[in-house]
Amino acid sequence: MSATFLSSEFFHNYKRNLSAIAGSAILLAFTVIVLAGPLFVAQNPYDVAQLDLLDSYKPPVWLEGGDARFLLGTDGQGRGVLAGILYGTRVSVMIGVSAMVMSCLVGTTLGLLAGFYGGRLDAAIMRIADIQLSFPSMLIALFLMSAFGTGIDKVLIALTAVGWVVYARTVRGSTLSEVQKEYVQAARVAGLRDGKIIRRHVLPNVLTPLIVVATVQVGSFILIEASLSFLGVGVPITEPSLGLLIKNGFDVLFSGLWWTSVFPGLFIMALVFGINLFGDFLRDELNPRLK
Amino acid sequence: MANDMTVADALLSVEDLRTWFHTFSGTVKAVNGVSFSLKPGEIMGLVGESGGGKSVVGFSILGLIDPPGRIEGGRILFNGEDLVTAGEPRLRQIRGRDIAMVFQDPMTSLNPLRTVGEQMDEMLRLHTELDARARRERCIRMLEDVGISRAAERLASYPHQFSGGMRQRVVIAIAMLAEPKLVIADEPTTALDVTIQAQILKLMRHQIREHGASMVLVTHDLAVVSEMADHITVLYCGKVVERGPTDDVIRRPAHPYTRGLIDSIPNPEHRTARLSQIPGAVPDIRKLPKGCTFRERCPRAAAICAQSEPALTLAGERAFACHFPLQEGEIR
Amino acid sequence: MTAMLQVDDLRQEFRIGGSMLDRMRFTDGRLRFPDRRVQAVNGVSFAIERGEVLALVGESGCGKSTVAKTIARIYRPSGGSIRIDGEDISRHGVREMLPVRAKMQMIFQDPFASLNPRQRVRDIVAEPLLEQTKGRAARREVADKTLALLARVGLNTEHAGRYPHQFSGGQRQRIGIARALSVNPGLIIADEPVSALDVSIQAQILNLMMDLRDEFGLAYLFISHDLAVVHHIADRIGVMYLGFLVETAPRDRLFSAPRHPYTRALLSAAPSIEKTRPREEIELSGEVPSALDLPSGCCFRTRCPLAFERCKVERPTLRDTGGGQQVACHLVDEPERDIQ
Ligand SMILES: Nc1ncnc2c1ncn2[C@@H]1O[C@H](COP(=O)(O)OP(=O)(O)OP(=O)(O)O)[C@@H](O)[C@H]1O
Ligand SMILES: Nc1ncnc2c1ncn2[C@@H]1O[C@H](COP(=O)(O)OP(=O)(O)OP(=O)(O)O)[C@@H](O)[C@H]1O
Ligand code: SF4
Ligand code: SF4
Ligand SMILES: [Mg+2]
Ligand SMILES: [Mg+2]
């Protein structure tokens, strides 16, 4: 299996695509951060007992007044910026990935039903999708968050409400073309019920294009969540994501305490950049028309 | 090159053409040593199984091979000029005016956004000096020639307003407009119904004869070729396996593959309980066996066929590539 | 004995929606959105006996596939009856159809689209049989039967674990045939099973189908547009035009004495490598009418070289002309007009 992967065309193209390698390197680094981030710093930024107000607003080590314990400096509560970032990345990525999975489940199910049954059901689902698409997703998320209040679960619901449409449309399109194919008719002739036909025959054949959508969506969800948190309607103060860190730092940015917001900003940028680089590569590779 | 007529009296002479595709999974030698020639006024049928390289020969003549494909060797002499080395600007002059093309799917050669009249007019503007009035008259006459009634009105129609058969007529009309010397038709009727196919084939033959042009007719349908062509060239795995005047090749095939093809067509005149079949399938063109490429499916194969590849042998007007060609009247 | 398949006055109509804007019409001072209807099959009747091969021929869009798919109950018929072994299945639901599926299976045209690219060959072949089987022990037997079926169509055990893309067109068609055979059906509906194949492969598949017929006593509804193939395989032939059955006759009779002008045109147009018989060419002119807008009277009159007044007003029905031949043409009543 691995030998065939290493000699596959996919891997061959990957090896020659610098931005794909860079993208996946960035993603690999972030995977390590998410899985093992707390091991790199002594402090747990959420544990109030480990915070010391005397450590507040320390600059990064390489500047005058820097402290070796806090590589990238500290914020107003004496929390290490690096520690905050390592823990905050977990929150951001967790939210991005979970919201993507939820959107994917909801959107794919609705898309399958719409494409397979057509008619009124299809029209209803697609009109909702159209209405949804005619508002900027940020606006919808903002509206929902201000209605629900803050909280990770609420962010997830808001992101799913924004994100399912793209899956529903993609899946509906592929489903429409798959159900025309004779193998679906053959399944009918074999006596399969609709549910089984959808699960066994249609679903596996509409998933490939979703890989790209899902990858890129994690990036955009991380950004939306950051914006929500920045506006103060995202995650609660107790579990700051990268976006919330930027907001907290932003309040003191113009007092010259730039490190508290710039470093989380750089991290979020690198993360989304890596995701998009890799997503672009996947798109080119998985799109047969570009070949 | 091995050929029974001098290059001088041939309109088109393809000599040892090799067109390869360099893909990730290996080099596809789609055309690997194809030679034939065509006199003015002649129709040559290029037949063979799917993937045999027929279309690639057609595209090579038109200079339409894109990377990863490349013409690796051979010459394509058109009126004595080598098209392989001619360069794109010169080819662009030749395409349309001297060599026209008709493809299987008429929609690929018609622009859906412009009227038939505009597309015909453009052809004439590019390749003739006629004024607008004369061009319009010519277009109308041409459409009438291909059997489209109310031609003057039809000029204002868009391609989607025609049926499949009518569209193919329009494509033929456009192809014949600039009075080309050579028409390359790639499966021009495969997408059409038999009754429409019969009309289109008759029309094409008539147009070719009328204008004194020549045609390379690419098809997998031996029956169509036998009704249309003066000469037949049979391709198998990118190589010519047999070539000759149509009647000779159909009545007295020399190559076992040609014989097999002819026998596997059900024949209403002599119905048999079972069809005679060629066993096996076309080999993967990236992993061709050594020796004769038809070996694994050939009823006559012997030891030598595995070792040496048979060369194209000339016999009068005919040629075949086989160590043990069928003799006259011999059945397998 | 009841026929394997008996179809009476089968009709199939498709509603094509299109967007509201496309359908918008302003009539009688009111805005309407009429449905457009394709009348794909307009009252077709025929029967197939056990072990018999009936071929349906006709031009593209004349409704051959629709007849096949309606009989296979991929579509629900809009009218008429379909009897399999005497049982009318035209109104059956999925559950009632299940036992019928064991009597009737289908082979498809496109060797690439008719196999699920993400299923292994053994799962593809076993699918219809598994639907019919209950219990674990029985399921284990299915696996053995699958291998036997693959062997019967000329594939081996090693092929069972592969995916469809690893096969050539001819091999894929064999897989489709094995799938159809898995439930031991009495009737196989074959919709252009060899049209997408090269002639040399065509012969292999046709031979296989004929061998299977002799072995299992199968009846085929064989759909094709290739008259040479049809002549080879069929016992009886039905000619369709624009959703109507215009002529049916035993094979030899249809080829030697076609009565319907369309059948004659079809026979004369078929290219052949045999040039012994000089062909009387019957050139058809005029356009094929659309199934959206059927002509009045005879469906063929817009292209018929022999059409006369009556053809415009009265639709001919299938009439027996002896020797098992039935023709839907007014010339049967007025033979003096029939200048053959
Ligand atoms: N752009 C391409 N890249 C790679 N391989 C190609 C390309 N074009 C053609 N080939 C290969 O070249 C071979 C010959 O193809 P070609 O289209 O000439 O066959 P053909 O005889 O016209 O067959 P058909 O009857 O199916 O049209 C095939 O094996 C095909 O896979
Ligand atoms: N699902 C569908 N919805 C709407 N119209 C359809 C549908 N299926 C078929 N038709 C129409 O019904 C008519 C008959 O089509 P059908 O596919 O049965 O023809 P056919 O004889 O099998 O043709 P071919 O030789 O091209 O396969 C055509 O006009 C077609 O456009
Ligand atoms: S060379 Fe040998 S294998 Fe090839 S076609 Fe002739 S007899 Fe057959
Ligand atoms: S009924 Fe009239 S139009 Fe129809 S086929 Fe017969 S002669 Fe022709
Ligand atoms: Mg081709
Ligand atoms: Mg069909």
Buried b (16+ CB within 10 A) or exposed e, B123-159: bbeebeeeeeeebbebbbebbebbbbeebeebbebeb
Instruction: Inform me whether the C-beta atom of residue A199 falls under 8 Å from chain C C-beta atoms.
Output: no
Distance between CA atoms of residues A143 and B109, nearest Å: 51
For chain C, what are the domain ranges?
A: 246-340
Residue A96: give the domain boundaries.
16-290
Whether residue A4 is contained in a domain is answered as: no
Residue C63 CA: nearest ligand 2 atom is 18
ipTM: 0.88
Are B45 and B61 spatial neighbours (Cβ–Cβ below 8 Å)?
Answer: no
Interface of C with A in 45-74 (CB under 8 A): 69, 72-74
Q: Where are the beta strands (DSSP E) in chain A?
A: none
Instruction: Compare all CA atoms of chain C with the CA of B258 and give the residue at the minimum distance.
Output: C200
Can you state the percent helix, strand and coil of chain A, rounding each to 5?
75, 0, 20
Instruction: Tell whether the model's pLDDT for residue A115 goes beyond 90.
Output: yes
- pLDDT above 70 covers what percent of chain A? 97
- Whole-structure pTM value: 0.88
Nearest CA to ligand 1 atom 18: B53
- Specify which residues B82 forms β-bridges with: B77
Residue B302 CA: nearest ligand 3 atom is 2
Closest ligand to the CA of B303: 3
Of the candidates C97, C117, C179, the beta carbon closest to that of A186 is on: C179
* Ranges A45-59, A94-108, B313-327: which has the least confidence: A45-59
Of the candidates C69, C101, C108, the beta carbon closest to that of A190 is on: C101
In this structure, the number of other CB atoms found within 10 A of the CB of residue A280 comes to: 17
Q: Which residues, at least 6 apart from B151, have a Cβ–Cβ distance to it below 8 Å? A: B139, B140, B141, B143, B144
Instruction: Inform me whether the C-beta atom of residue B276 falls under 8 Å from chain C C-beta atoms.
Output: yes
Probe target for ligand 1 pocket from B20, B24, B46, B54, with the most ligand atoms within 8 Å of CB: B54
Distance between CA atoms of residues B30 and B40, nearest Å: 27
Distance between CA atoms of residues C316 and C221, nearest Å: 25
Buried b (16+ CB within 10 A) or exposed e, B90-103: eeeebbbbbbbbbb
Copy the structure tokens of residue C218: 């199968």
Buried b (16+ CB within 10 A) or exposed e, C203-220: bbbbbbbbebbeeeebbb
**Residue C289 Cβ contacting ligand 2 at under 6 Å:** no
Residue B52 CA: nearest ligand 1 atom is 21
DSSP-derived letter for residue B284 is P
Burial class (CB in 10 A: 0-12, 13-18, 19+), C309: exposed
Nearest CA to ligand 1 atom 6: B21
DSSP-derived letter for residue C255 is H
Distance between CA atoms of residues B94 and B78, nearest Å: 10
Residue linked to tokens 């022990």: C137
Instruction: Compare all CA atoms of chain A with the CA of C99 and give the residue at the minimum distance.
Output: A191
Chain A residues at the B interface, defined by Cβ less than 8 Å, are 9, 12
What is the pLDDT at residue A10?
A: 82
Distance between CA atoms of residues A96 and A106, nearest Å: 15
Q: Are strands B318-320 and B313-315 parallel, antiparallel or unpaired?
A: antiparallel
Closest ligand to the CA of C168: 1
Q: In the A/C pair of chains, how many CB contacts fall below 8 A?
A: 60
Q: What angle do CA C316, C256, C46 make, to 5 degrees?
A: 45
What is the pLDDT at residue C19?
A: 59
Distance between CA atoms of residues C53 and C42, nearest Å: 22
Q: List the helix and strand counts (H, then E) for chain A.
A: 13, 0
Q: Which residues, at least 6 apart from C298, have a Cβ–Cβ distance to it below 8 Å? A: C304, C307, C311, C312, C314, C315, C316, C328, C329, C330
Distance between CA atoms of residues B152 and C225, nearest Å: 34
CA distances from B243 to B8, B251, C306 (A): 20, 13, 43
Buried b (16+ CB within 10 A) or exposed e, A89-109: bbbbbebbbbbbebbbebbbb
Q: Give Dmax (Cα) for chain B.
A: 68
The whole-angstrom distance between C70's CA and the closest CA on chain B is 23
Probe target for ligand 3 pocket from B293, B322, B332, with the most ligand atoms within 8 Å of CB: B322
Between helix A137-148 and helix A152-180 the angle, nearest 10°, is 140
Ligand 4 site residues (CB inside 6 A) read C 260-261, 298, 300-301, 304, 306-307, 311, 316, 329-331
Of the candidates A191, A201, A204, the beta carbon closest to that of C98 is on: A191
What is the pLDDT at residue B1?
A: 42
For chain B, what are the domain ranges?
A: 115-171
Beta carbons of C69 and A192 less than 8 Å apart = no
Given CA atoms C96, C101, C103, C105 in this order, what sign does their dihedral have?
A: positive
Distance between CA atoms of residues B246 and B250, nearest Å: 6
Average model confidence (pLDDT) across chain A: 88
Distance between CA atoms of residues C102 and C121, nearest Å: 20
Q: In the A/B pair of chains, how many CB contacts fall below 8 A?
A: 3
- Specify which residues C30 forms β-bridges with: C27
In this structure, the number of other CB atoms found within 10 A of the CB of residue A80 comes to: 26
Instruction: Tell whether the model's pLDDT for residue A291 goes beyond 50.
Output: no
Nearest CA to ligand 3 atom 1: B322
Beta carbons of A189 and C94 less than 8 Å apart = no
Q: Which residues of B touch C227 (CB under 8 A)?
A: 194, 268
What is the pLDDT at residue C17?
A: 65
- pLDDT above 70 covers what percent of chain B? 96
Closest ligand to the CA of C40: 2
pLDDT beneath 70, residues of chain C:
1, 17-25, 34, 275-281, 340
pLDDT beneath 50, residues of chain B:
1-5, 332
Beta carbons of A188 and C74 less than 8 Å apart = yes
What is the pLDDT at residue B268?
A: 79
Q: Are strands C36-48 and C5-16 parallel, antiparallel or unpaired?
A: antiparallel
Whether residue A34 is contained in a domain is answered as: yes
Distance from chain centroid for Cα A124: 28
The CA R_g of chain C, rounded to the nearest whole Å, is 22
Of the candidates A182, A191, A204, the beta carbon closest to that of C110 is on: A182
What is the pLDDT at residue B2?
A: 43
Copy the structure tokens of residue B189: 């009727």
The whole-angstrom distance between B149's CA and the closest CA on chain C is 10
Instruction: Compare all CA atoms of chain A with the CA of B26 and give the residue at the minimum distance.
Output: A9
Residue linked to tokens 């016992």: C235
CA distances from B26 to A134, B23, B30, B67 (A): 48, 5, 12, 14
Please give the full DSSP string across B115-157, using - where no structure is assigned. Answer: -HHHHHHHHHHHH----HHHHHHHHHHHHHHTT-SSHHHHTT-
Beta carbons of A12 and B24 less than 8 Å apart = yes
Give the SS3 label for residue B199. helix
Beta carbons of B277 and C284 less than 8 Å apart = no
Are A110 and A160 spatial neighbours (Cβ–Cβ below 8 Å)?
Answer: no
Interval between CA B20 and ligand 1 midpoint (Å): 10
Interval between CA C261 and ligand 4 midpoint (Å): 7
What is the pLDDT at residue B3?
A: 46
Q: Which residues of C touch B275 (CB under 8 A)?
A: 203, 206-207, 232
What's the domain count of chain A?
A: 1
Between helix C169-181 and helix C121-132 the angle, nearest 10°, is 20
Whether residue A3 is contained in a domain is answered as: no
Give partners of A (≥3 CB pairs < 8 A): B, C
Q: Which residues, at least 6 apart from C153, have a Cβ–Cβ distance to it below 8 Å? A: C174, C175, C177, C178, C181, C208
In this structure, the number of other CB atoms found within 10 A of the CB of residue A119 comes to: 9
Are B264 and C199 spatial neighbours (Cβ–Cβ below 8 Å)?
Answer: yes
Residue linked to tokens 């035209």: C90
Closest ligand to the CA of B30: 1
H or E stretch covering A169: helix A152-180
pLDDT band at A288 (very low <50, low <70, confident <90, very high): low
Instruction: Compare all CA atoms of chain C with the CA of A119 and give the residue at the minimum distance.
Output: C17
Interval between CA B100 and ligand 1 midpoint (Å): 21
Distance between CA atoms of residues C297 and C294, nearest Å: 9
Instruction: Inform me whether the C-beta atom of residue B303 falls under 8 Å from chain C C-beta atoms.
Output: no
